[in-house]
Structure 1
Amino acid sequence: MFETIWPLITVVIGIILLLSLIIFMKLNTFIALIITSIVTAILLGMPLDKIIETIEKGMGSTLGHIALIFGLGAILGKLLADGGGATRIADTLINKFGHKHVQWAMLIAAFIVGIALFFEVGLVLLIPLVFTIAKRANVSQLKLGLPMVVALSVTHGFLPPHPGPVVIAKELKANLGQVLLYGMIIAIPVTIIAGPIFNKMAEKIIPSAYRREGDISALGAQKEFTEAEMPSFGISILTAISPIVLMLIATIVQLITGHEEAKNGIESFIYFIGTAGTAMLIAVLLAMYTMGFKQGRNNAEIMDSVSNAIYPIGMMILIIGGGGTFKQVLIDGGVGDTISKLFEGTEMSPILLAWIVAAVLRIALGSSTVAAISSTGIVVPLLQSSDVNVALVVLAIGAGSVILSHVNDAGFWMFKEYFGLTVKETFLTWSLLETIISVSGLVFILLLSIFV
């Protein structure tokens, strides 16, 4: 009996070790992940001469797919921000909606911008705008900020080209276009529930949080654009969503024809430009023109934006790779097989199980991306005997990986500090909204699984 459950005990020990290294010893997350992977491999009884090979395999297989998309995504976001496109999208929507519906404007702007920008980048870019608009409209900073972070968090958890969904889709061999299509269907109602609807409830639950004055001085001076310096609204929107459009077109063609692989030249071309890497490259080239040359920026300035986009994501890429090594150790060490045997004959939906695994790891580890990647090593064996739509399992892991952000998550502290909240207020706003995103996401995924 002990031998049967030992792999599961090993996972618990590994997670406790990882938490201890990060929280108590203040070790860098990447280094902590590598150490944890090695210790876990030893505890699982893997041959010593195979451990580093497994770690290299996990690092390579994870980053081999995501590095291209992650890098191009960071460049696209930086070009959109430096070219004034993100500011134009937000300003235009806020002007169109007016002061009365300003939170809806912020929600939609953050959702559009969030597709192209990673969570942390979108947060740093949009928070100064939230503070400015809140002062102008004479409303609480949190009333505008909460819908904004909801939109950014939903796109981060559910939609490619964000790293979590991309890596999970690759590991589970899911169609990335289907993940995007179903993710969009789920993301819209989830954003509305966790955004404007929860905003009204939170204002009654913790009114003191809505009277706080935030501090964004740590962000430094923010660039302000004149009307002439910003591109048009249409061009800005087109640039931001161009990779999504290309991927969706390829997916829709695939669903209509029923062809997983191209059968003629036209389909080959559509599938080629709709591949995530190609779509992102086309979007970056478009952004270099629309957010660069067309705005009068010279080549040196544009290349500065490209270079500056890459520097901040170096450590994030390593952390994602570190998550991949832990995932690979769980797979090669037989943890997935153990869990698969435990759930043999179970009536539990693989979607629900995937969500539970990701949720537990998220609460324990803090990082949604690491939790999502680590979950795949446990979930993969369960899918071999199931006919569930794999794209929905990807989204279920994404939903589970955003649940209950708390003190071991950097996002918790960023939200607290920027909006000047107490720890209690942060739990009742940020932690609660992340949980609502996760649970409502699961509900809509299960509903969608009835039809697809």
Structure 2
Amino acid sequence: MGTVNVSLLTTDPCSQAFSAEGPTIGFPHMQDIAVLINTAVAVLAAVLLIVRFRVNPVIALVVSSVYLGLAVGLGVEKTVKTITAGFGDIMVDVGLLIAFGVLMGSILNQSGAIRRLVEHLLNTFGPKRLPYTMGLAIGTVLQSIFLDVLLVISAPLARKLAPKIGKLGTARMATAMAIALECGIVFTVPGVASLALAGLLNVPLGKMMLFGLLLVIPTIIIAIAIMTFLFRRGFWNEAKDEDHTFVAEEDREGEEEEYDGGAGRPVAAGTAARGPGTNGTAAQVTGSVAVAEREPKQFPLIVLFAPLLTSLLLIGAGAILQILKIDLPWLQLLGEPVIALLIGLIGTCLVTRSAIGQKRVEEAIAVGFKESGQILILTGVGGSLAATVAAAGLGHILGGFFSASTVAPLLVVWAIAAVLHIAVGSVTLSAITAAGLLAPIAPVIGLDPVLLALSAGAGSLFMVHVTSNTFWLLQSLLGQSVRGALKSVTVGVSVASVVAILLILPMSLLF
């Protein structure tokens, strides 16, 4: 996998001032203080532009990067080169991976495989274990799908299955979905944020996948169990926390459509379009789901998911070969993440073409390209800000502060990501920014970058609230009031955030 070469971005005189004698411990120099202040101003300015003035995050991040570069003395030419190099480096690392993953997810969505998998989980494990089984499925094997797409696909099914659980069904299913969706994108390869974090911190993708799975599975299970305990102790009030008026009307309209011969849920698309904080992409994809339910052929689920599973197995095999230092060139080639996901994408296209036809595969690919574009640009400019921060020399300054401990940086990166997420509302953006701020200190103190990546991801989960369109999608599509969503989504995912960092800290002592 490629690298985000922050070392090349720290060769300017300003950075050399911090690195000539290594990280200093003790009271910072005035020049160090200036760098710290300007970095804080740049990050806070980005947050203010996005939240208060509704500036597009891409524009806000670039503006903040320009300010920081000029403020710390990089100069015009060096600032521009750093911003563009940061964007380019992160795209080298994760651009194709994100595109291939989103395309596979869009095609699987069109084939109806996701709906059938959830139904299979219900039949296999029963209603009592449904929140856990559905949560683990969403948080692991379904992470090739763009978050909003996966949410809109699974929410109507979760809403219909909630009554089968019994009392507190809506609360438990809503919480399980929120925790699994958010944890999956930051911990599980090929989740968008996990790919971006791995690229930004130069973590081998196979290693990110293995460590991410070790973390995400217990995090989801423990967080759901804690929230279930709270709900059963009176934390949930069905009268005030549930509001089924809107979704009940939607369900009735969907049933009328089926009665008239339509197969699917076109109303769900309208719902996504009307929901606060949503965008046309989610609505468009939901419309695709309606089409996807009219399947000409019922291929076995294992056949539909086989290409995706094969690509993940190849990545895992490549990581194991690297760890064991075994030289098998042909398997190393197939285990390269770009090649493995390309194999998965080609296989998914071939299998689903036989199931739903070439035309609908092409439609799914078109939708996938629209989704991946916005993710790629946002990820790239996040890398631009991180590169500018590295060039400013912040890593050497912070390296001196944290050189005595490997635990403190993990808590700091968790806290920074949490604060950024509270303000901005973007899990991916806050994780990338926080990781980029502390990325340069990892080699200085001997900290494994994968732990830094996981800590940034964990912090970015804290306080999913009204600035997040995921919050509004879960609120509107699962029959909750805003008060209910604050409990199931905001509190639920925050519990997962705390659980994750508490699991990461012992890992830092072992690895």
TM over 0.5: yes
Q: Is the 8 A contact 1:88 1:230 kept in 2?
A: no
- SS state at 2:445 partner: coil
Q: Is the 8 A contact 1:85 1:230 kept in 2?
A: no
Q: How many residue pairs align between the two structures?
A: 443
- SS state at 1:384 partner: helix
Give the counterpart letter for 1:354 in structure 2. Answer: V
Within 5 Å, which residues of 2 pair with 1:89-108? 89-108=117-136
| Deviation, structure 1 residue 196 | 4.2
CA distance in 2, matches of 1:112, 1:379: 27
Match of 2:433 among 374, 387, 391: 374
| Deviation, structure 1 residue 329 | 1.3
Q: Is the 8 A contact 2:421 2:430 kept in 1?
A: yes
CA change 1:44–1:418 in 2 (3 A) is: farther
Match of 2:316 among 215, 226, 248: 248
Within 5 Å, which residues of 2 pair with 1:148-227? 148-202=177-231, 204-208=234-238, 211-213=242-244, 215=247, 216=268, 217-219=270-272, 222-223=289-290, 225=293
Give the counterpart letter for 1:449 in structure 2. Answer: S
| Deviation, structure 1 residue 156 | 0.6
Q: Is the 8 A contact 2:101 2:144 kept in 1?
A: yes
Match of 1:387 among 446, 461, 470: 446
Question: Is 1:310 aligned to residue 369 of structure 2?
Answer: yes
Paired position in structure 2 for 1:7: 35
Unaligned 5+ residue runs, structure 1?
none
CA change 1:8–1:410 in 2 (3 A) is: farther
Compute the TM-score of the two structures, normalised by the length of structure 2. Answer: 0.80
Paired position in structure 1 for 2:342: 281
CA change 1:44–1:199 in 2 (3 A) is: farther
Match of 1:339 among 398, 405, 419: 398
Q: Is the 8 A contact 2:197 2:435 kept in 1?
A: yes
CA distance in 1, matches of 2:301, 2:230: 33
CA distance in 2, matches of 1:429, 1:84: 27
Match of 1:133 among 142, 154, 161: 161
CA distance in 2, matches of 1:42, 1:416: 43
Match of 1:118 among 116, 136, 146: 146
- SS state at 2:439 partner: helix
Compute the TM-score of the two structures, normalised by the length of structure 1. Answer: 0.90
- SS state at 1:402 partner: coil
- SS state at 1:115 partner: coil
- SS state at 1:99 partner: coil
Aligned-residue sequence identity (percent) comes to 23
Question: Is 1:414 aligned to residue 473 of structure 2?
Answer: yes
CA distance in 1, matches of 2:487, 2:162: 21
Paired position in structure 2 for 1:46: 74
Match of 1:269 among 327, 330, 333: 330
Per-residue deviation, residues 211-258 of structure 1 (Å, max 9, x unmatched): 332645423655263676442132244344332222112222333x2x
| Deviation, structure 1 residue 73 | 0.5
| Deviation, structure 1 residue 344 | 4.0
After alignment, is 68-77 or 192-201 more displaced? 192-201
CA change 1:347–1:82 in 2 (3 A) is: closer
Unaligned 5+ residue runs, structure 2?
1-28, 248-267, 273-282
After alignment, is 127-136 or 116-125 more displaced? 127-136
CA change 1:355–1:19 in 2 (3 A) is: closer
Q: Is the 8 A contact 2:242 2:484 kept in 1?
A: no
- SS state at 1:385 partner: helix
- SS state at 1:26 partner: coil
Give me the CA root mean square deviation: 2.5
Give the counterpart letter for 2:113 in structure 1. Answer: G
Paired position in structure 1 for 2:65: 37
Give the counterpart letter for 2:199 in structure 1. Answer: K
Q: Is the 8 A contact 2:413 2:456 kept in 1?
A: yes
| Deviation, structure 1 residue 126 | 0.6
- SS state at 1:160 partner: coil
Give the counterpart letter for 1:193 in structure 2. Answer: I
CA distance in 2, matches of 1:113, 1:179: 15
